[in-house]
Chains A and B, each alone.
Chain A
Amino acid sequence: MKFCTVKQYFDDENNNNVTNGIATTVIPLPNKHLKIKANNKEMEQYEQELLRNVMPQELTKLILAANYLNFKEALDFFCRTVANAIQNKSVDYVRKFFGLESDFEPGEEEKLCKEFAWSFEGVDED
């Protein structure tokens, strides 16, 4: 079920996907999840805490770990956290968040903006 891959992980020593640090965050999750499942407010607070204390890099590693461990609830939770972090933020903010760099030719980005003008309305200030 949920934890058959965990056993696999511990048996498999040469594991590049999941580092020890990540495992300590992901594995206690089901207990925390169960404990605060009923209380949405607490989940929100936990999410805020996670966002503050955990860098986007760690967050992506957490996502990959949850994916590898086939842990659906954790995966949903982390994806939701990422989505909330970038919701209604400007393009530059999101680029910084994910470590992306614009590789468009000068003028190309402007053109793209026009092409997708129908989607650029009402964004948060950075």
Chain B
Amino acid sequence: MGDSPDLDLISDLPQSIIESILTRLPIIEAVRTSILSSKWRYRWASLTHLAFDEKCVTSTNDRTFVENKLINFITRALFLHQGPIHKFQLCTSFLTSCPDIDQWILFLSRKDIKELVLELDENEWIRVPSCLFNCKKLTRLELSRCELDPPSTFKGFSFLKSLKLYQVYVASDAIESVIINCPLLESLSLSYIDSLTLNIRSPNLKYLCLEGEFKDICLENTPLLIAMSVAMYMTEDIAEHMEQSSSCNFIKFLGGAPHLERLIGRIYFTKYLTVGDDPGRLPIKYINLKIIELYQVSFEDMKEILVVLRLITNSPNLKELQISSSSNSYTLAAMEATDLEFWEKECPSHCIFGRLRVVKMTEMSGVPHEMEFIRFLLENSPVLEVMSIAPCSSVTEGRLNMLIELVRFRRASPRAEILFIQN
């Protein structure tokens, strides 16, 4: 009894196709193919992509039982594996810190690992073993919830293109040194790494994502940056530090990214950019910047408005602008026009947004400066197609006033539609 060569559809397919099929199955099923026939006994063992999670083992309520089964499964799979492993992914909350993880990483470091993703439990932070830093061929590294401490002899990952750290406990200078020693780095994402003070020097960096409580960030050398998404949270510590700082955050952050195409700023981002001395006229124009999204912008803070103005007036090719306001205090006091000469003073007289097509304003309360901003945009955007305005849900009585004002505004674009979004 043997395989009839006419009937057997699959055994002689090229390994790359077998891999393409087996890696689309949960790994446990790929391993099961070992029982199909003698030819298949170890076909799965040459897979170069391995992805493990707790679905590899039957789930029960006994966490320790699941943990032990999972450790057993992964260890055996790795032990039987042949050939290089290019991608290894482990995402589970069932593994508490265990020496097995260290051994797996040691094993992977000897198998030419290129992509490593480790997402572990939030209650037990493992300390990433030093053998991780021996994985010379790494092109992508993603770590969640662990402690990172590169040895002093670490010279960087020469091939690393993508680095993502989420809730990782690591020192600022360690991250800085990793970044600067990964010359091919294109994508960097740092989330919820507390109190980071960073000087980012990364000549090939294209995509940057930062979220968390950052003390001080300077993009010192990021000439190729094309997209940036930043969410800055505030603590008392950071607020104090900001008060004492004199260096201009706007320049520190955006001064070195002339090819930026897309900018997203959340939480206290615009506030962060107000810190420091006023940069005056900006030395650079963001000629590629097409999309700007800024959230939680306070239209009661002149400095924040100035930051927004400075940004958009130096982006001649801006196509889409989205601003979400944080001024949700609809009180009579807030409605009093204060310092409206600001607009005449600060707006460049011949400012035209020649490519601006879509503007979305959200969480509006109708405070004077919000309305002036809208007026400014309508007057100076000759190709505008849509201006959409969504009042924030707590504003009910002010909506009519907002509409009355809106209707009066002159529009440079005959095609402009003003959409007032009511829920």
Chain A residues in the interface with B (C-beta under 8 A): 56-57, 60, 63-64, 67, 75-76, 79-80, 82-84, 86-88, 91, 94-95, 98-104, 109, 112-113, 116, 118-122
Contacts and interface: CB of A to CB of B under 8 A. Distances in A.
A99 B41 CA distance: 16
Given A100-B8, A103-B1, 19 more contacts: A60-B13, A64-B13, A83-B21, A83-B24, A84-B24, A86-B25, A87-B26, A94-B36, A98-B9, A98-B11, A100-B3, A100-B37, A101-B37, A102-B36, A102-B37, A118-B73, A119-B31, A121-B28, A122-B58
A121 B72 CA distance: 14
B35 A116 contact: yes
B409 to A, nearest CB: 36
Contact of B10 (A60, A113, A116): A60
Interface string B1-21: 111100111110110010011
A119 B28 contact: yes
Given A91-B36, A100-B37, A101-B1, A75 B20 contact: yes
Nearest to B3: A101
Contacts, number: 96
Given A83-B25, A101-B4, A103-B3, A116 B32 contact: yes
Given A94-B36, A118-B69, A119-B28, A56 B9 contact: yes
Across the A-B interface, give the 8 residue pairs with the lowest CB-CB distance, nearest first: A99-B7, A83-B24, A79-B20, A119-B31, A60-B9, A98-B10, A121-B58, A79-B21
A67 B2 CA distance: 28
Which size bracket describes the interface of B in this complex?
35 or more
Nearest to A105: B38
Chain A CB within 10 Å, residue with most, of B29, B40, B41 = B29
B39 to A, nearest CB: 8
B349 to A, nearest CB: 45
B408 interface: no
B33 to A, nearest CB: 7
Contact of A99 (B9, B33, B38): B9
A88 B20 CA distance: 17
Contacts of A82: 21
B350 interface: no
Nearest to A95: B36
Given A63-B17, A79-B21, A112 B37 contact: no
Interface in B31-69: 31-41, 57-58, 69
Interface centre among B3, B4, B21, B41 (most CB of A within 10 A): B21
Residue among A80, A86, A88, A95 with the highest chain B CB neighbour number at 10 A: A86
